[in-house]
A and B are shown apart, each in its own frame.
Chain A
């Protein structure tokens, strides 16, 4: 198990070192804006803020309210494309 987590850390390290993580993040962000995910979540944020009150809302509140919804709302096509790229990266660098 410790070996597994060690390996995960190594892969993550590599993702960051190669700059691939940043690229993937940028791609994901662009896709999510494009498909309206961001607008949906913003609308949800609005509800949360109105509920809690403008002055009292914290980042933690937003994160706990928004993250589950955000995960669920990512379209399958976007997931698929990201996974494709991650797999390609893994195939390239896991067998070095």
Chain B
């Protein structure tokens, strides 16, 4: 070992360069050999030619390059006027309006935090009352669902657009009808009370 190290230190640059070249060609050869083994195995196992197909099916899946069509040859704005069915209220809404509608309908997002708050308040009340809260929750859910069904007919006539303020207002109206007493008990949200009284119907 000692001798080797001495001989190493006495190397000149050209020799080092040659050594580096040799190591590189060794590595490249290794890589080639690895590829050969890989290909040979693939051939013997029968999966080497799986990925190339005949010309006919290649033509079927060619990329379409025509104005007005996407790469699959379909008209690309055919989804523009599609309608989506809301999973919460099962109304069909234009796809472009679906996201804002869902935000309101599910009570998530910025603007509908008030709706969400109100829901939390009613939830707390039912819990405080410690009656069969399961049933009460069901009531709330039913309200949610029947709102969509019952409102559908009216909505179609008056306003096609499932607008959020309108929706939240009518929601409030419905809830104040359902249980004004619950809210009276709760002193935590006086602002909510004011709001509800602002729409006596």
Contact = CB atoms under 8 A, between A and B. Distances in A.
A32 B31 contact: yes
Nearest to A13: B4
Nearest to B29: A67
A87 B28 contact: no
Interface in A1-49: 3-4, 6-8, 10-12, 15, 21, 24-25, 28-29, 32, 38, 41-42, 45-46, 49
A28 B37 contact: no
- Mostly, the A contact residues are helix
A66 to B, nearest CB: 6
B27 interface: yes
B160 to A, nearest CB: 54
A67 B24 CA distance: 14
A10 to B, nearest CB: 4
Nearest to A95: B9
B65 interface: no
Interface in B1-51: 4-5, 7-9, 11, 15-17, 19-25, 27-37, 39-40, 43, 48-49
Given A32-B31, A62-B36, A86 B24 contact: yes
Contact of B39 (A7, A10, A45, A95): A45
B27 A94 contact: no
A41 B16 contact: no
B28 A74 contact: yes
Interface residues of A, number: 43
Contacts of A38: 35
Contact of A15 (B21, B23, B32): B23
Which of B19, B21, B30 has the most chain A CB atoms closer than 10 A to its own CB?
Answer: B19
B4 A7 contact: yes
Interface of B: 4-5, 7-9, 11, 15-17, 19-25, 27-37, 39-40, 43, 48-49, 52
Nearest to A31: B31
5 nearest interchain CB pairs? A70-B32, A62-B36, A10-B4, A86-B20, A94-B8
B127 to A, nearest CB: 59
A55 to B, nearest CB: 9
A94 B32 contact: no
Contacts of A87: 16-17, 20
B29 A71 contact: yes
B28 A28 contact: yes
Contacts of A57: 40, 43
Given A7-B7, A86-B20, A94-B16, A59 B35 contact: no
